[in-house]
Chain A
Amino acid sequence: MAAPLKAEYPSVSEDFDSSAKIVKFVALKKHREEDAAQGQELASFETLMLPHLDAAHNLARWLLRNEQDAQDVVQEAYLRAFRSFGGFHGGNGRAWLLTIVRNTSYTLLKKNRAADFTTFDEEIHAPSDESVSPATTLEHSEDAELIKEAINELPAEFREILVLRHQEGLSYKEIADIAQIPPGTVMSRLARARGKLKEYLAARIGKEK
């Protein structure tokens, strides 16, 4: 409209030139929009998920029993979580992230340490001294180092459930979702985990005496 003559008889080269500019502009715009959308997605991912970094690390550390592996798994889990972030529709971000951390940890555990999945050896961990009273067990159980060792002796499925319940304070329902077990089994698994822990503590204290 500003130059009607020119518009009616556009020279080919000029037309080519400016349409190329438009296309470039549109491509660039598209590029920027995608960048912006990704930046936006990353920002919202980080706001929702980074606050749970300690919980993620803690679970991985207990499952893998090794600091380096734990850090690698947490990093990998955050990447996986980001890739499937589109499937997260609000709700409990901590439980969602912990599920991924748990699955990533198990992948590594299965790969590295088939031994970790052997069932709990009743013989070895049977209380060696039946005479140890519950009171003595409890006295010693205040010892953080002893508790830590005892938990680390347990199979992965017990370590996991103790961490989720006692350290994260999660409900049975949330634990069932993360550990991928029916809600009805959470209580019995917790009972077995605590029972084994108690046996282990009793055995250790018996040995020390």
Chain B
Amino acid sequence: MNCKEVINLMDGYLDSELDPVTSQTVEHHLRECPNCDQAYNAHGSLMRAIASSSPYHRAPAGLRERIQSSLREEIGERTTRSVVPDAQPLFPRRLAEARIIRWDTSWNWLALAAAIIFAAIITFNLVPRLRPGSDQLLATQLIAGHVRSLMANHLTDVASSDQHTVKPWLDTKLDFAPAVPDLSSKGFPLIGGRLDYLDNRPVAALIYQRRKHFVNLFVWPVESNAAKATKTISRQGYHLLHWADTDFSYWAVSDVSADDLQTLKQGFEEQTQPHPH
């Protein structure tokens, strides 16, 4: 690979979007070629500057409400459009049918019962769209917990990037004491902690930031017979990563990529492994 080719691939290399073989070839060239290496460093700094210095325009207060009310108006419009016009012509036709069928008052009750069953079927089919295994059910709860934390301005109960503030706070509120490592070095600065309620028990939620996004790491004591395998679930644009150690069960939930969550897990495990001495 010559310098020109390497420079052409530089963006993909820095974005970690090259296939492993090409990526290795570029890496090899950078070690050998000071000019390209310098270009690599300069381009990397530029990219970091874009990421860290470009302002993120969060939605202003009031926009959410504006959207919600326009959506409700939309529903109102649809209702008037579809129900009122066909309710009228429907009336005489159904009336004639009804007169033929109805020879016993008990039809009233049959119709009522049928309507109730019909409604029940509709609700049943609409509401639990996933009739889940316990993991799926838990995943739903975890995503809901994550979404709620971002929606209601209630991301943290204790907002601090200092693990020595967050951990004691959690310890006083829970009947277990999870590790609270700072993962800034892995690109996941600690934002704070929160209490949540999941799977019928109070749990700790540690909040980490990744670029402009947030990761909720839910922690609770592991059940002795629970499976310890690592699991990943993707749903609705959220990624969930589960792992467990001897004491705790962990679920990381976020809209960052699954790879990012793996990085978080690695960082977490490196920092929480007992030191040999």
Chain A residues proximal to chain B, CB less than 8 Å: 1-3, 6-8, 10, 15-16, 18-20, 22-23, 25-27, 29-40, 42, 45-48, 50-54, 56-58, 61-62, 67, 70-71, 74-75, 78-79, 82-83, 90-96, 134, 137-138, 141-144, 147-148, 151, 162-163, 165-169, 171-172, 186-188, 190-191, 194, 197-198
**A36-B123, A61-B57, A167-B211 known; A93-B111 Cβ under 8 A:** no
Which A residues lie within 8 Å of B131 (CB)?
none
User: Looking across the interface, which residue of chain A has its beta carbon closest to that of B93?
Assistant: A23
Q: Is the Cβ of B70 less than 8 Å from the Cβ of A79?
A: yes
Q: Is the Cβ of A38 less than 8 Å from the Cβ of B78?
A: yes
Chain B residues proximal to chain A, CB less than 8 Å: 8-12, 15, 17, 42-43, 45-47, 49-51, 53-60, 63-64, 66-68, 70-72, 74-75, 78-79, 82-83, 87, 90-91, 94-95, 98-99, 102-108, 111-112, 115, 118-119, 122-123, 126-127, 144, 147, 150-151, 210-213, 235-237, 255-257, 260
9 A-B interface contacts by CB (under 8 A): A22-B108, A27-B91, A37-B122, A71-B66, A79-B70, A79-B74, A93-B237, A144-B54, A166-B50
Which A residues lie within 8 Å of B94 (CB)?
23, 26
Query: Distance in Å from the Cβ of A28 to the closest Cβ of chain B?
Result: 9
User: Looking across the interface, which residue of chain B has its beta carbon closest to that of A96?
Assistant: B237
Q: Is the Cβ of A142 less than 8 Å from the Cβ of B105?
A: no
Which B residues lie within 8 Å of A141 (CB)?
45-46, 49-50, 53
Q: Is the Cβ of A31 less than 8 Å from the Cβ of B43?
A: no
User: In the complex, what distance in Å separates the CA atom of A57 from the CA atom of B123?
Assistant: 34
Q: Is the Cβ of A1 less than 8 Å from the Cβ of B12?
A: no
Query: Distance in Å from the Cβ of A163 to the closest Cβ of chain B?
Result: 8
Q: Is the Cβ of A82 less than 8 Å from the Cβ of B237?
A: no
Query: Distance in Å from the Cβ of A164 to the closest Cβ of chain B?
Result: 12
User: In the complex, what distance in Å separates the CA atom of A105 from the CA atom of B211?
Assistant: 24
Which B residues lie within 8 Å of A1 (CB)?
104-106
User: Looking across the interface, which residue of chain A has its beta carbon closest to that of B11?
Assistant: A191
Interface of A is mostly: helix
Q: Is the Cβ of B46 less than 8 Å from the Cβ of A7?
A: no
User: In the complex, what distance in Å separates the CA atom of A154 from the CA atom of B142?
Assistant: 40
User: In the complex, what distance in Å separates the CA atom of A15 from the CA atom of B100?
Assistant: 10
User: In the complex, what distance in Å separates the CA atom of A188 from the CA atom of B12?
Assistant: 9
User: In the complex, what distance in Å separates the CA atom of A62 from the CA atom of B102?
Assistant: 65
Given A38-B79, A169-B212: 13 more A-B contacts, CB < 8 Å: A10-B103, A22-B98, A22-B102, A23-B90, A33-B118, A36-B123, A47-B147, A53-B64, A58-B57, A67-B60, A82-B74, A94-B237, A187-B17
Q: Is the Cβ of A48 less than 8 Å from the Cβ of B236?
A: yes
**A15-B102, A27-B90 known; A194-B122 Cβ under 8 A:** no
Q: Which of A25, A62, A165 contacts B115 (CB 8 A)?
A: A25
Q: Is the Cβ of A166 less than 8 Å from the Cβ of B54?
A: yes
Q: Is the Cβ of A29 less than 8 Å from the Cβ of B115?
A: yes
Q: Which of B17, B68, B105, B236 contacts A90 (CB 8 A)?
A: B236
Query: Distance in Å from the Cβ of A37 to the closest Cβ of chain B?
Result: 6
**A16-B99, A51-B147 known; A197-B111 Cβ under 8 A:** no
Q: Is the Cβ of A7 less than 8 Å from the Cβ of B103?
A: yes
Q: Is the Cβ of B119 less than 8 Å from the Cβ of A198?
A: no
Which A residues lie within 8 Å of B70 (CB)?
75, 78-79
Q: Is the Cβ of B119 less than 8 Å from the Cβ of A144?
A: no
Which B residues lie within 8 Å of A50 (CB)?
64, 67-68, 151
Query: Distance in Å from the Cβ of B163 to the closest Cβ of chain A?
Result: 24
**A36-B122, A57-B57 known; A172-B108 Cβ under 8 A:** no
Q: Is the Cβ of A165 less than 8 Å from the Cβ of B15?
A: yes
